[in-house]
Amino acid sequence: MLKTQCLCTQLRRAARGVTRVYDDALQGIGLTVAQFSLLRHLARLDEPSISALADAMGLDRSTLGRNLKPLQAEGLVQLQGDAGDQRNRLVLLTEAGRERLEQGAAPWEAAQQRMHEQLGEANRAQLMALLGELESLG
């Protein structure tokens, strides 16, 4: 891999590496880290609209819509409300979605533990602070 001084390139490379760790951990339950994260957000929120869920996840509605389709096809989420106004439709976590979240809890924690061990506590805390600062840019 080419060395770079570009912050954007380096962050994107790091994000892909971290994503691989979580995707590999979740492979056994048939979800990607993006899908698992979406289900976790739904479990924490109380039947959000598509717009509210997109805001909570830091996604635009079109990206969220693409991420919801496979979960909806598997019966893990349901959309409820006016099909003509996608922004106000509610996103519901189904019982099958809750079960899949339970199945993913241990693999997710294993990935979290792997990342904590890789970084160490001081580096993890520093990284979280820096990422929080970067998140506020957008």
**92 — pLDDT class (breaks 50, 70, 90):** very high
Which percentage of the chain shows pLDDT scores above 90? 79
Higher pLDDT, 71 or 89: 71
**138 — pLDDT class (breaks 50, 70, 90):** low
**Nearest-angstrom CA–CA distance, 36 and 97:** 10
- 3-class state of residue 58 by DSSP: coil
Q: Name residue, tokens 């957000």.
A: 41
Instruction: Check whether 87 has a pLDDT greater than 90.
Output: no
CA distances from 103 to 3, 9, 68, 99, 107 (A): 39, 34, 19, 6, 8
CATH of domain 23-135: 1.10.10.10
Angle at 53 between CA 49 and CA 57, to 5 degrees: 170
Where do the structural domains in the chain lie, given as residue ranges?
23-135
